[in-house]
C-alpha cells in the first residue's frame, strides 16, 4: 500500500468514525457538511473528496461492514471447505459480529422502525449489490454441488431471497434482547437451514417431474 492510499484510507475512516460519533452523541445528523468538517478539523472540500453527502457516509458504513465480514471469513482456514449452506451461515454469523461494534449507531439510525416499510433506505444499495454478488457465487456453487436444485425462473430469484433473509436477520438482531444475542444466533441457524432445505431438491421437484411425465405421455 502506498503512502497516498494509506492517507486516503485514514481520512475516509476518520470521516466515517466522526459521523458515527456525532450521531451517537447528539442523536441526529450533523447540521451541515461545513460544520461537520470544521469539527473534524478538515476542509469542507476534503470531505467531498470521499463523500458527496451524509447519505454517502451511511452507505459507506454498510459497505465497510460487508468488506470486513468477507475479509474475516476468508481469513478462516476452514471457510474454503464449507458447503454453500455453511458459507451463508458463516457470513451471517460474522456479519452480526461486525455489526455488534456499531450497534448503538445502528440502533440510533434504524431502531425507530425505518426498516419497516418495504422500500428500504437507499444507503443500503451498495451493500445490497455487493451481497448479491456474494449470494450469486454461493448459489452457483450450490448448483454445482447439487446442494441447490436448479429450477427454471426460481433459481434466479434465490439471491433476492437471501437478501431478504439478511434484512430479516438485521431486524431480528436490532430487537433482540437475549444475553449475547443468542436468539439471533438461533434465528440465523434456523432460517438458513429452512432456506437451504427449500432450495434443495425436495418432494415437490419429484412431483413436478412426475406430473410433467404424466402430462407428456398422455
Partner 1 sequence: MTVKLNEQQSIPVSKVQRAAKFISTGAKVGGNYMKHYTKKVVNPSLTKDELHKNNATDIYDSLSELKGSALKVAQMMAMDKNLLPRAYQDKFSMAQYSAPPLSYPLVVKTFNQYFKKGPESLFDTFTTSAVNAASIGQVHKATKGDKEFAVKIQYPGVGSSVISDLRLLKPFALRLLNMNERELDNYMDEVEEKLLEETDYELEVIRSKEISEACNHIEGLNFPKYYEEMSNARVITMDWMKGKHLKEWLETNPTQEARNKVGQTLWDFYDHQVHSLKQVHADPHPGNFIIQEENELAVIDFGCVKVIPEDFYSGYFSLIKKDLLIKEEELDQIFYDLEFISDRDSPTEKSYFKNTFQEMISLLGKPFHEETFDFADDDYFQMISALADKISNDKTFRKSKQARGSRHGLYINRTYFGLYNLLNQLHSNIKTTKPEWLKS
Cα atoms found within 13 Å of the Cα of residue 73, Cβ hemisphere only: 24
Instruction: Answer yes or no whether residue 65 interacts with partner 1 by CB under 8 A.
Output: no
Instruction: Answer yes or no whether residue 164 interacts with partner 1 by CB under 8 A.
Output: no
Cβ-based nearer residue to partner 1, 15 or 184: 184
Cβ-based nearer residue to partner 1, 168 or 213: 168
Cβ-based nearer residue to partner 1, 50 or 79: 79
Instruction: Answer yes or no whether residue 189 interacts with partner 1 by CB under 8 A.
Output: yes
Alpha helices by DSSP H, listed for the chain, are 3-26, 33-39, 44-50, 54-74, 84-100, 103-110, 125-144, 154-175, 182-199, 203-216
Question: Of 67-86, which residues contact partner 1 (CB under 8 A)?
Answer: 76-78, 81-82, 85-86
Residue 214's Cβ-count burial label (10 Å; 0-12, 13-18, 19+) is exposed
| In the complex, minimum distance from the CB of residue 97 to partner 1, in angstroms, rounded to a whole number | 7
The owner of cell 475516509 is 12
DSSP 177: -
State the residues that interact with partner 1 by CB under 8 A: 76-78, 81-82, 85-86, 89-90, 93-94, 97, 178, 180, 182-183, 185-194, 197
Amino acid at each position: 500500500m502506498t503512502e497516498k492510499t494509506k492517507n486516503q484510507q485514514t481520512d475516509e475512516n476518520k470521516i466515517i468514525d466522526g459521523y458515527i460519533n456525532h450521531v451517537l452523541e447528539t442523536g441526529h445528523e450533523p447540521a451541515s457538511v461545513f460544520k461537520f468538517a470544521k469539527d473534524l478539523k478538515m476542509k469542507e472540500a476534503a470531505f467531498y473528496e470521499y463523500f458527496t453527502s451524509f447519505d454517502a457516509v451511511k452507505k459507506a458504513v454498510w459497505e465497510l461492514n460487508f468488506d470486513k465480514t468477507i475479509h474475516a471469513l476468508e481469513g478462516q482456514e476452514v471457510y474454503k471447505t464449507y458447503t454453500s449452506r455453511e458459507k451463508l451461515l458463516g457470513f451471517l454469523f460474522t456479519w452480526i459480529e461486525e455489526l455488534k461494534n456499531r450497534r448503538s449507531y445502528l440502533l440510533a439510525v434504524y431502531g425507530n422502525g425505518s426498516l419497516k416499510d418495504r422500500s428500504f433506505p437507499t444507503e443500503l444499495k451498495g451493500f445490497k449489490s455487493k451481497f448479491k454478488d456474494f449470494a450469486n457465487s454461493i448459489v452457483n456453487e450450490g448448483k454445482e454441488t447439487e446442494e441447490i436444485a436448479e429450477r427454471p425462473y426460481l433459481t434466479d430469484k434465490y439471491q433476492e431471497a437471501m437478501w431478504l433473509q439478511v434484512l430479516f436477520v438485521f431486524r431480528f438482531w436490532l430487537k433482540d434482547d437475549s444475553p449475547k444475542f443468542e436468539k439471533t444466533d438461533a434465528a440465523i441457524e434456523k432460517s438458513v437451514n429452512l432456506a437451504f432445505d427449500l432450495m434443495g431438491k425436495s418432494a415437490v421437484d419429484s412431483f413436478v417431474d412426475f406430473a410433467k411425465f404424466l402430462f407428456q405421455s398422455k
